[in-house]
Amino acid sequence: MHEIERTVLITLPRLFGIDLSITNEVVLLWIAAATCFVVLMIACRRTQLVATGLLQNGMEALIEFIDRSTGREIIGKQAGHWSSFLLSLFFFIFFANLMSLIPMPSHVKAMTSNISVTGALALIVFVTTLVVNIRTHGFLGFVKRFAPEGLPLPVRIFAFPIEVISWLARPLSLAIRLFANVLAGHALILIFLGLAGSVAWLLKPLPYAGAVIMSAFELLVCFLQAFIFTLLSGMYINDAMETHG
């Protein structure tokens, strides 16, 4: 048992110092995106007033739940403009997370256990909220939000850097939360499988049972982490559009 290692498949020239080479990890990202697209296309290719089939019913219920929980209940009337973005975030992260359950650690892993991937997703949300903030409030209005009106000037001066740091920490917390939870679950499953190969045959059922239990638990974690990431993204977008008195 060994963890997948980064392997360059196609070497490409650097662009502004960024390595654009296609690696096995990039291919795994493409596979996650393609799987997400194909499953949703099959589930939604025949839109009917009443859903039929297990896949269509399941996806319809899941889409309705995510759209309501991360969009309509948080953003309100403008949720329709953000439904596609939030649902795309959720399903891509969910399918990427599920790859951690494939029992081929030397070839496949959840790419959301890579901080570069979760950091890129968090950066997309960060840039989106930044643009929405400036469009809604204007640049000066956006800056003024870090120094709430109604407070004494010394307090506002003291609060400004704290509010800025708190706002800049949002993408960092998004990236680290998703990365750490997916990586931890993946590592625990590998530990159990590794123990199965090193203990006496009488004890082998125990680590295998632990791996099965952790895999079932990881299925819940895959959903929860995708949901939490999407929920927080919806909250940040709503905060960017919110106007105060």
| Per-residue model confidence as pLDDT tens for the chain (245 residues) | 456 677 888 887 877 777 778 888 889 899 999 999 998 888 877 666 566 677 788 888 888 898 888 888 888 888 788 888 999 999 999 999 988 877 676 777 888 888 989 999 999 999 999 999 999 888 888 888 887 777 777 878 888 888 889 888 888 999 999 998 888 877 777 777 777 667 666 667 777 787 778 777 888 888 999 999 999 999 999 888 876 54
Q: What is the 3-state secondary structure (H, E, C) of 78-92?
A: HHHHHHHHHHHHHHH
pLDDT of res. 10? 84
- Mapped onto helix, strand or coil, the DSSP state of residue 23 is strand
pLDDT of res. 245? 42
C-alpha–C-alpha distance, residues 195 and 29, integer Å: 29
Strands annotated E in 70-203: none
C-alpha–C-alpha distance, residues 37 and 43, integer Å: 10
Residue 111, CA distances (Å) to 28, 118, 189, 224 in order: 7, 8, 16, 16
Nearest to 90 by CA among 231, 218, 237, 221: 231
pTM score of the predicted model: 0.84
